[in-house]
Structure formats: C-alpha cells, structure tokens
Amino acid sequence: MTGTDDLLRRSAAAMARDLAEGATSSEELTRAHLARIADVDGDINAFLHVNEDDALATARDVDARRAAGEELPALAGVPVAVKDVVVTRGMPTTAGSRILEGWVPPYDATLVERLRAAGLPILGKTNMDEFAMGSSTETSAYGPTRNPWDTDRIPGGSGGGSAAAVAAFEAPLAIGTDTGGSIRQPGAVTGTVGVKPTYGSVSRYGLIAMASSLDQAGPVTRTVEDSALLHELIAGHDPRDSTSLTDPVPAFGEHARRRDVKGVRIGVIEELEGEGFAPEVRARFTESLALLEAQGAEIVRVSCPNFRYALGAYYLIMPSEASSNLAKFDGMRFGLRVVPEDHPTAESVMKATRGQGFGAEVKRRILLGTYALSAGYYDAYYGSAQKVRTLVQRDFAAAFEKVDVLASPTAPTVAFRLGEKTEDPMAMYLNDVATIPANLAGVPGISLPSGLAEEGMPAGIQFLAPAFADARLYEVGGALEALLEESWGGPLLSRITELKGASR
C-alpha cells in the first residue's frame, strides 16, 4: 500500500472528524479511495461500476459548503459504496444479473436519496450474487468477488462486493441488503461489521426485491460505531414503503460508544453453536462471550427449538416471493431483450430473454417458488413454511423474555475457496443457518469480527435483539469490539497489509 494508507484505514467516524477539523477534504478522501479502487479492484472485483465524476462532484460540493460555514450531517464528505441491488439514478444497476445489463434507473432508492442529501460521495455499485441469491458472490453474472484476506477465497454473499470493498480499504462505508444473511455472513468472513436492522427500519423503496417480507438494507463498515452512524442516516419513515416504521430513529452512534454491558443478559442459542460449526469459529465465539462476562454481562443458555426448521422454511418462503417478484423481468421493460428469429411473439421474446438473462441459481429458485405456490402444493409447502415462520417468531419471543440479546457464531465456517461449493446448493444454503431466523422474525442482528479462526481467516459473532431494539446491538457490539481490539492490540483488519492469494 501507499502513503495514503493512513487516510484509507481510518474508521468513517475518524474520517468525519478529520473533515470537520479541516485535516483533510472530501475531495482528497474521495480521490484516495478512487485510486485504491483503481489499484486493487482488478484483483478483488468488488465494484461493478465506479462512479468517479459524480462522487468527485459531491465531494467538491461538500467541501465548498463546509468552507462556507454550513452545518453538515455527521458523515458528510465520507465516501460510500452501494450494493448493486439498490437503484441509483443515472448509474447502471444490474443486481448482478445479465437481464438488467445496461439498465440505468430513472430514480434513486430512498436510502440513496438520503446518502446524497447528507453529502456522502457514492463511489460506485458493488458486486453481488445474482438478485442476491447466494452466499459467495459466485452467482454474479459479472464474475466473483474475491476475499481481501485471501483472493482464492469467497467474500461471502450475496453482498460480497460491499464487504470486500470495506475490508480492502476501497470504501470506508457500504450499503448491503440482508434477506437471509447477506450483510452479516459476508461481514463474518471478511472481518467487517454488518447490521441487518429491524424489518421496516430502512426503507425498501428502490431495492430490487428478492423476498419482500424478508429483505432489509443496512450498513457494512469496519467498526460498530460506523454502522450505527450509517444506520442512523438511512433509517426513518418513508411514505413510499408501506412497511416502513414510523418510530423516531434512536441516536445509534451514542449507543455504540456507551460500552457498558453490566447486567446485560446474553442468551447463547443452543441450536446454533454445536454440530456443524467449525471448532475455531466456536472457540472465538466462546472467548468473546467470556470477555463480556468479565465485564459484568450475564451469559445464559437458551433453547430455540424451532430454529432447526428455519432454513427449510426460508427456502420455501424466499423462492415463493422471489418467483413472483422476478416475474416483472419480461424483456419488455428493463435491460436485456432477446428477440428470437422467425415471427417473434411477446411470449417467445419473454422466454428467450428470461432463458438467457437469468443464471442457474435464479432459475432454480423461480422453479422452486412456482412449485411451492402451485394450487395442489400451496398448503403442503408454502402454507407449512409460514407456520414454521410463526413458530420461529414464538421462539424469539420466549427467549427475549429471559434475555436482552441472543448470540451465536454468524456463519458456521470461515471463508471457503472459490468453486468449493458451487456444485452443491445445499452446502451453499447451510452458510445461512444462523442468520436466517432473524429475517423470518423481522428482528435486528449485528455481526462483528470475533478473531481469526481456521487457516488464519476471520470469523464473526452475531447478536440478535427484539424488534425495535437495534440500539442494544450497538451497545453490546461496541463493548465487545473495544474489548477484542484491546486484546488484539488494534483492529483485526489492520492485519491486511497486502492482498494474498494465487490469483494476486
């Protein structure tokens, strides 16, 4: 890395302070990140589109406003990357799919409007599994993203691009979306922090829907405080999303800085820590809990018996909703249109476009969902899955009568190698065994690094809180992060000094 290292490696909160004090300008900061992207993204492939001119224009505008003495929002001038499932006016948006290649949305998602209004330069759009279906970013039609810790390994998914960009110091902040774990699992395997807010906390207007009852956008960052600040900025009521919460947004940043866990009751989910979780991932989890216990937290074991059916229920509900949401990609309205020779009809164009435009995983899920929703099978599959969803919600309700937050490892293993699970959908789906219950119940979750586990790769710990209690995640997460960094002698990501891997 180069002399701009110090500039790039600071937390977003520290960058914001530098900007406020005039130690740097947004233009300098944005240029440094664009240079870093030019330098390393050939190896990482975190970005599908780099938004250079527009990002620099925003940066200069913020610098001018600051110079004129204008009062600016906390993160004004700090650059951000946005997952390519979020629509951006004037910037290509593909959701990682061929079917949307060349589509430039005429409007911004609400969360993008908020980023722009707060003066955050948007560096570009990040790579992802096609339509957010996957756990490795390998189903992207534009090639996989690589893990900055080891470029032969996956960065998690579906939001691998956002997580890798943040871990590789290409962006200090990023936006992800989490339908079954796509913010938290990439966070875990790249050593970054990711938060899935309470369902409805962040507007879904302008998110290309995968499964509408599960989707939620949230922050991807290097520190807990940065996630809190970004969450604060993008949250809040939006009349254009009928499921958007009307409650005022708490000052999450203050909660992240509180660092007091005395008397906090943390429940270890028995169903999510034993079999199937790698030994060192479990060891880092247990050590993290011991640190919190030493600070006065109370660790108790709780059982959520129905969580073992959550993955199965998810893989019926999610494809059902996705099969319906994806019906709009018909070759008529957006992106790709394939016109067969010989008297094309609307139907044959649709068939050819969807046949060529969608990848194998997307087709698999459309088939699964269409089947689960079909007349003869609706009760047996979709109906049963919805009942399981209710049971999972009841498990959470019962657990939260006994504890303030729940905890588990975020993902069962560290990052695996590219190609290792592409032929085995079940093995791929199992990555989200610990993250999916939160989406089924709409509750918030945070993942933060717990240390290095198998083969020197990062592992994550997840905390879950009751709906609307996202602030608790920032309190417990902020406290644990401080304790761990003290024991490591600095942030885990500071160990990335250069990119490693055969592909480098």
Give the residue, chosen from 182, 227, 288, 323, that forms a contact with ligand GLN under the rule CB under 6 A.
182
Nearest Cα to Cα of residue 74 among 20, 9, 11, 8: 20
Q: Which amino acid is at 261?
A: V
Which of 105, 134, 442, 445 touches ligand GLN by CB under 6 A? 134
Residue 180 sits in the site that holds ligand GLN (CB under 6 A): yes
Report the residue number, 324 or 348, with the smaller CB distance to ligand GLN. Answer: 324
Catalytic residues: 83, 158, 182
The Cα 474–Cα 464 span in angstroms is 11
Is 158 a binder of ligand GLN (CB under 6 A)? yes
Q: Which of 25, 88, 110, 179 binds ligand GLN (CB under 6 A)?
A: 179
Rounded least distance, CB 411 to ligand GLN, Å: 10
For 163, residues 6+ apart whose C-beta sits below 8 A from its C-beta are 155, 156, 174, 176, 186, 187, 189, 190, 192, 194, 220
Using CB under 6 A as the binding rule, the residues of this chain from 191 to 220 that contact ligand GLN are: 210
> Which residue in 92, 105, 181, 236 binds ligand GLN (CB under 6 A)?
181
Reading the block at residue 248, the tokens are 């005022």
Beta strands in 335-444, from DSSP E residues, in sequence order: 405-409
Among residues 51 and 135, whose Cβ is nearest to ligand GLN?
135
Q: Is 368 in the site for ligand GLN (CB under 6 A)?
A: no
| Residue (18 or 130) nearer to ligand GLN, CB | 130
Q: Does 432 bind ligand GLN (CB under 6 A)?
A: yes
Q: What's the token pair of residue 341? A: 């020779």
Which 3 state secondary structure label does DSSP give 50?
Answer: strand
Q: Does 133 bind ligand GLN (CB under 6 A)?
A: yes
Q: Which is nearer to ligand GLN, 428 or 453 (CB)?
A: 428
Task: Give the helix/strand (H/E) hosting 122.
Answer: strand 122-126
Distance CA 297, CA 293 (A): 5
Which residue from 483, 457, 435 is spatially nearest to 290, judged by alpha carbons?
483
Q: Which of residues 271-330 bind ligand GLN (CB under 6 A)?
A: 318
Minimal distance, residue 230 CB to ligand GLN, in Å: 18
Q: Look-up: residue for tokens 């390519």?
A: 84
Contact range with ligand GLN by CB under 6 A, out of 176-184, 223-231, 338-346, 412-420 = 176-184
CA distance linking residue 291 with residue 288, whole number of Å: 5
**138 touching ligand GLN, by CB under 6 A:** no
**Neighbour tally for 182: CB within 10 Å:** 37
Residue numbers of the site for ligand GLN (CB under 6 A)? 132-135, 157-158, 178-182, 210, 318, 432
